[in-house]
Structure 1
Amino acid sequence: MATGAGVGVGLLAGCSGSSDSGSDGTSDDGTSDDATMADGGAVGAFRLLISDQPAAIGDFDSLNVSFSRARIFRASEETEDTATETATADPTGTATADSTEAETTDPTETETPDDDADEDADGGFVVRDLDGATVDLTEVVGDRAIGVLDGELEAGRYSKIELYAESVEGVVDGESVDVKIPSGKLQITKPFEVVAGESVEFVFDINVVKKGNGGYNLLPVISESGVAGRDVDVEEVSNGADADDTESSTDDDEETEAETTEIDETDRDSVTESGRPGNETAAE
């Protein structure tokens, strides 16, 4: 299983979920991130990683998904022991029956504001800003994953995670391709627990599914998602952009060192030359 913070699918720029978080940082249940944390007391460290399944990701030169935010739902009595998702793909890239209808959904379509609030009114949810964290899903195929969130959550049980993308850019054979997120968001319902003073890493696995019209859908894979080390095993890798910056910095350091060495050699040659017989000045 792969992680690109942990999902693998190809989307074209413009695929995004609707905004349910106000400009003042307030979620549509009327609770701000800070207030939610303050009310809870004890917290635990929480990390979110993305991974990807092989399947249709092999078609892509690159598939960059920039994530805007995550909604993390507290468990209620009804959802605590369930594990489902709205539109999913199995690890081979085959969409489930209910995703066929979802494929016709415009990814920029605004979702009904009260749908999620009504559904999860008992448990509630918190919103975490992902600051446009970008993952190239071609780099997190199989058991590789990339982190997109490193923070804290109130201790307790959680039931579902929703991911929203602010942009997706897929390239196949040098050309941009149409990639959609059905319903405008990726969601997985799979219980996990945050324990006070401890750390938990949740891997959100995504699959790219090729449609009959030549386009692609990005779908979550529940069987390859879950708590790292318990439900799934992954190898965390660095984001490609960060790795490029590090490599560039290393190259600059090596070049500077080489130039310094060359200057030192030149100075030594100059000193040696000036010290040879016959090089005395007229004054001497």
Structure 2
Amino acid sequence: MDRRAFLHSGVAVAGVALAGCGSDAPMGTLATYVSDRPGDIGDFDSCVVSVDEIRVLPTAAATETEDHEGDELTFSVGGVTLDLVDLTGEAAALADTVELQTGEYVYLKLGVSAVEASLSDGGTAMVSTPGNAHLKFPHPFEIRADETTRFTADFTPVAQGETGRYVLSPVAEETTVRYES
């Protein structure tokens, strides 16, 4: 990245950060829901996921590089636990709501701090996220003034062969965004 692009991205990030500080900045609500597409979840009697963090990336802070961690807005969720077995099909559970400045956002990430799972056959399963990282949902969305953006992050455990190990995988085609007044 050349110096001009670097300075431009720094100004954009600072503008996004400072824009939320003023009391006159228009705000909207992000309601993050979790759902589970049917798949290998059928192997489980329970698959309890603890969500501890939500991260979003404002479009103004996006750069051409893959690593935006310093530019993400991070919100602590406070250890919400959700059983994915109960969230198959159209079912979804609210993870948290946060107030955000109006504008466009590139993606949402969920921080999963723990997974406790038991298989239908009575065994236990090792369930993790890819690379033990946040689950990333690269689904652009908008925060609108005085509205609620309902972002439903859909993911499912995927069996890793016959090892008893599963990886939580985002399901892009089942992730949805709706706008409610």
Same fold per TM (> 0.5)? Answer: yes
Higher relative contact order (Cα pairs below 8 Å, separated by 6+ residues): 1
Q: In the TM superposition, what is the alpha-carbon distance from 1:47 to its structure 2 partner?
A: 0.2
Mapped partners of 1:128, 1:77: distance in 2: 17
Residue pair 1:188, 1:222 contacting (<8 A) in 2 also: yes
Q: In the TM superposition, what is the alpha-carbon distance from 1:151 to its structure 2 partner?
A: 2.4
Asked if residue 210 in structure 1 is aligned to residue 162 in structure 2, the reply is: no
Mapped partners of 1:176, 1:136: distance in 2: 15
Structure 2 counterpart of 1:73, from 57, 73, 81:
57
Structure 2 counterpart of 1:179, from 111, 121, 127:
127
TM-score normalised by structure 2 residue count: 0.79
Q: Secondary structure at the match of 2:111?
A: strand
Structure 2 CA distance for partners of 1:36 and 1:229, relative to 1, 3 Å? closer
Identify the residue that residue 78 of structure 2 maps to in structure 1: 131
Identify the residue that residue 68 of structure 2 maps to in structure 1: 116
Q: In the TM superposition, what is the alpha-carbon distance from 1:77 to its structure 2 partner?
A: 8.6
Asked if residue 145 in structure 1 is aligned to residue 87 in structure 2, the reply is: no
Q: In the TM superposition, what is the alpha-carbon distance from 1:150 to its structure 2 partner?
A: 1.6
Q: Secondary structure at the match of 2:88?
A: coil
Q: In the TM superposition, what is the alpha-carbon distance from 1:188 to its structure 2 partner?
A: 1.2
Residue pair 1:47, 1:147 contacting (<8 A) in 2 also: yes
Indicate the RMSD between aligned Cα atoms, in angstroms: 2.6
Structure 1 counterpart of 2:178, from 228, 233, 246:
228
Q: Secondary structure at the match of 1:228?
A: strand
Runs of 4+ residues over 6 Å off in structure 1: none
Which structure is higher in strand share? Answer: 2
Asked if residue 64 in structure 1 is aligned to residue 44 in structure 2, the reply is: no
Mapped partners of 2:68, 2:102: distance in 1: 22
Mapped partners of 2:168, 2:122: distance in 1: 20
Asked if residue 37 in structure 1 is aligned to residue 28 in structure 2, the reply is: no
Aligned pairs (5 A) from 1:252-267 = none
Identify the residue that residue 9 of structure 1 maps to in structure 2: none
TM-score normalised by structure 1 residue count: 0.52
Mapped partners of 2:75, 2:87: distance in 1: 22
Residue pair 1:36, 1:126 contacting (<8 A) in 2 also: no
Identify the residue that residue 7 of structure 1 maps to in structure 2: none
Residue pair 2:62, 2:106 contacting (<8 A) in 1 also: no
Q: Secondary structure at the match of 1:197?
A: coil
Q: In the TM superposition, what is the alpha-carbon distance from 1:78 to its structure 2 partner?
A: 6.5
**Which entry has the higher C-alpha Rg, 1 or 2?**
1
Mapped partners of 2:61, 2:52: distance in 1: 29
Percent identity of equivalent pairs: 31
Aligned length: 160
Q: Secondary structure at the match of 1:190?
A: coil
Query: Which residue type is aligned with residue 92 of structure 2?
Result: A
